């Protein structure tokens, strides 16, 4: 594709040059690249424009008012959006049906469950998010919930070339703010819930919600469907916005109109759900434990129905859902017979939900091992401690990903809320202690890192997988 066709120029001069790719990292620029130079929280991409041009960049997308020589200058007051729009034109086509999920908790489970339900319906489907790019055949890690826009669009275009027709992707608040998920026609967008998270980046809850709601105000197609978990306090605002825009609505939950959850009966390895839809009552055995897993399953079913899925068949297929990596994943059985679960819960609400999911299944004690991440919202640490000590029978506070902070200081913050909890800084030792002491009627929950394969200490990522460590300790 020539640059002129991409930017609608007259095709003279630089416009005659062939575009070979897009980059926002000057180290990835090759001859023919369009380079996006943005001001970031830590790095200003504008400082690397000259380096990008020397490496062969033929066009620079940046804010107005800069002096740029040696490449076409595409000036825009919102350069991230302009860059994403051009990149989408370059990388297209994409899967014919795309849906997005936002919310504080549940995004990963929802996109993966949606992918599974589509596959059961006979479609070639994929999901993109915290777990990476997942298809029926493989999973490739990207490292971020919402990867940068170049990685996202190139991966999605690659999926389309492989025959993927249905895509579900996570839309994080960071990704939405930084225009990382632009360019696709979003047929349905889902809202799961809103609770405290990422205030280190957004500043306050109002800004955090504004970032989330952008999925519905700007990205969701005008002809698309808003799928909303109706039981969250913030859901009414999403529903109002969808009605103002004229979007179709699919609401799910105990207060839902499309899929109304009228009964939930916990069983040993799952839960029986009673759902009202289209004037009929449906019963299904969901092979996942916990109220929040039921919520994720219903949101996923809502997305499938919103994109043409048969209501009765979709509800019936909930019985065939497989667990999502690191989401209340049963990792091991202790020698005593106590099951050990691993969950990604790293916010107060998510931790409370994970504990609530397991508590009905514990004949003895519910033991929780958790910590808090460094270089992240410090205000949630004490609250997480209060949740754990109030709801669990035994609490061990340990290290999560301390990053550049002092790990002991992070633990002290958590322990302000978790008064009476044990402190074992070494995460492996903490998991080992919980499993060693667990009785036959107890349940152990290791929370915070879920699917993650490493522990971030300083600027190093040390190999660490809660599931593997739990199995080793149990053995």
CATH code for position 11: 3.40.1390.10
- Residue 183 among known ligand-binding residues: no
Shared domain check, 70 and 23:
yes
pLDDT bracket for residue 191 (50, 70, 90): very high
pLDDT at 268: 67
Q: Which two tokens stand for residue 72?
A: 């076409």
Stated pTM of the model: 0.82
Q: Is the pLDDT of residue 328 over 80?
A: yes
Q: Specify the DSSP class assigned to residue 419.
A: T
Q: Where are the beta strands (DSSP E) in 45-165?
A: 59-62, 72-75, 97-102, 125-129, 132-134, 139-140
Shared domain check, 366 and 226:
no
pLDDT at 290: 87
- Residue 403 among known ligand-binding residues: yes
- Residue 161 among known ligand-binding residues: no
Q: How many separate domains does the chain show?
A: 3
- Residue 103 among known ligand-binding residues: yes
pLDDT bracket for residue 208 (50, 70, 90): confident
Alpha carbon distance 4, 20 (integer Å): 13
Residue that terminates a domain, selected from 54, 86, 118: 86
pLDDT at 200: 55
- Residue 104 among known ligand-binding residues: yes
- Determine the average pLDDT of the residues in 43-70: 95
- Residue 448 among known ligand-binding residues: yes
pLDDT at 141: 52
- Determine the average pLDDT of the residues in 378-383: 94
Shared domain check, 121 and 8:
no
pLDDT at 140: 61
- Determine the average pLDDT of the residues in 234-242: 94
Alpha carbon distance 446, 40 (integer Å): 34
Shared domain check, 427 and 366:
yes
pLDDT in tens, 420-473: 999 999 999 999 999 999 999 999 999 999 989 999 999 999 999 999 999 999
Q: Is the pLDDT of residue 365 over 70?
A: yes
Residue that terminates a domain, selected from 292, 320, 348: 320
Q: Which two tokens stand for residue 364?
A: 């003895």
- Determine the average pLDDT of the residues in 131-143: 72
pLDDT in tens, 387-412: 999 999 999 999 999 999 999 999 99
Residue that terminates a domain, selected from 320, 346, 372: 320
Distances (CA, A) of 130 to 105, 127, 175: 12, 10, 12
- Residue 398 among known ligand-binding residues: no
- Determine the average pLDDT of the residues in 135-144: 63
- Residue 402 among known ligand-binding residues: yes
Shared domain check, 121 and 57:
no
- Residue 452 among known ligand-binding residues: yes
pLDDT at 11: 45
Length of the chain: 475
- Determine the average pLDDT of the residues in 351-362: 91
Shared domain check, 21 and 100:
no
Average pLDDT of the chain?
92
- Residue 139 among known ligand-binding residues: no
pLDDT at 104: 85
The domain spanning residue 273 has which CATH number? 3.40.1190.10
Shared domain check, 350 and 405:
yes
pLDDT at 203: 57
Shared domain check, 64 and 112:
no
Separation of first and last alpha carbons in the chain: 57
Shared domain check, 281 and 136:
yes
Shared domain check, 196 and 238:
yes
The domain spanning residue 396 has which CATH number? 3.90.190.20
SS3 460: strand
Domain range for 315: 92-320
- Residue 411 among known ligand-binding residues: no
Phi, psi of 264 (to 5 degrees): -145, 115
- Residue 180 among known ligand-binding residues: yes
Of the chain, the percentage scoring pLDDT greater than 70 comes to 95
Q: Is the pLDDT of residue 150 over 80?
A: yes
Shared domain check, 342 and 416:
yes
Query: For residues 344 and 108, is the Cβ–Cβ distance under 8 A?
Result: yes
Of 74-83, 188-197, 221-230, 348-357, minimum mean pLDDT range: 188-197
- Residue 146 among known ligand-binding residues: yes
Shared domain check, 333 and 208:
no
- Residue 63 among known ligand-binding residues: no
- Residue 393 among known ligand-binding residues: no
């Amino acid at each position: 594709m020539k640059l002129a066709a991409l930017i609608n120029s007259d095709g003279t001069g630089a416009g005659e040059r062939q575009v070979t790719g897009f980059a926002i990292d000057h180290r990835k620029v090759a001859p023919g690249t369009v380079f996006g130079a943005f001001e970031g929280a830590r790095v200003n991409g504008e400082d690397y424009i000259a380096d990008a041009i020397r490496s062969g960049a033929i066009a620079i997308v940046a804010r107005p008012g800069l002096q740029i020589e040696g490449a076409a200058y595409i000036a825009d007051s919102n350069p991230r959006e302009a860059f994403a729009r051009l990149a989408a034109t370059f990388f297209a086509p994409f899967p014919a049906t795309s849906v997005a999920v936002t919310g504080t908790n549940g995004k990963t489970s929802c996109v993966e469950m949606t992918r599974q339900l589509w596959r059961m319906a006979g479609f070639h489907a994929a999901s993109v998010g915290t777990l990476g790019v997942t298809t029926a055949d493989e999973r490739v890690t990207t490292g971020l919930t919402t990867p940068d826009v170049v990685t996202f669009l190139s991966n999605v275009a690659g999926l389309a070339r492989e025959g993927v027709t249905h895509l579900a992707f996570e839309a994080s608040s960071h990704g939405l703010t930084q225009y990382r998920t632009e360019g696709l026609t979003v047929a349905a967008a889902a809202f799961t819930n809103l609770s405290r998270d990422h205030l280190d980046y957004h500043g306050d809850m109002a800004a955090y919600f504004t970032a989330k709601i952008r999925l519905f105000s700007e990205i969701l197609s005008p002809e698309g469907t808003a799928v909303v978990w109706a039981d969250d306090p913030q859901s009414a605002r999403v529903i109002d916005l969808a009605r103002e825009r004229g979007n179709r609505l699919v609401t799910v939950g105990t207060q839902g109109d499309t899929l109304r959850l009228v009964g939930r009966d916990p069983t040993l390895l799952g839960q029986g759900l009673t759902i009202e839809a289209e004037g009929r009552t449906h019963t299904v055995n969901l092979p996942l434990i916990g109220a929040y897993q039921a919520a994720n399953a219903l949101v996923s079913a809502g997305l499938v129905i919103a994109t043409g899925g048969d209501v009765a068949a979709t509800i019936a297929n909930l019985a065939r859902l497989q667990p999502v990596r690191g989401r209340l994943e049963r990792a091991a059985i202790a020698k005593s017979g106590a099951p050990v679960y691993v969950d990604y819960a790293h916010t107060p609400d998510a931790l409370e939900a994970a504990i609530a999911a397991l508590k009905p299944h514990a004949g003895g004690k519910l033991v929780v091992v958790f910590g808090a991440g460094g270089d992240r919202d410090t205000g949630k640490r004490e609250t997480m401690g209060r949740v754990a000590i109030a709801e669990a029978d035994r609490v061990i506070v340990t290290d999560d990903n301390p990053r550049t902070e002092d790990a002991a200081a992070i633990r002290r913050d958590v322990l302000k809320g978790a008064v009476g909890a044990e402190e074992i800084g070494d995460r492996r030792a903490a998991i080992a202690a919980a499993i060693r002491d667990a009785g036959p009627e107890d349940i152990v929950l290791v929370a915070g890192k879920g699917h993650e394969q490493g522990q971030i200490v300083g600027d190093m990522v040390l190999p660490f997988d809660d599931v593997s460590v739990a199995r080793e300790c149990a053995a």
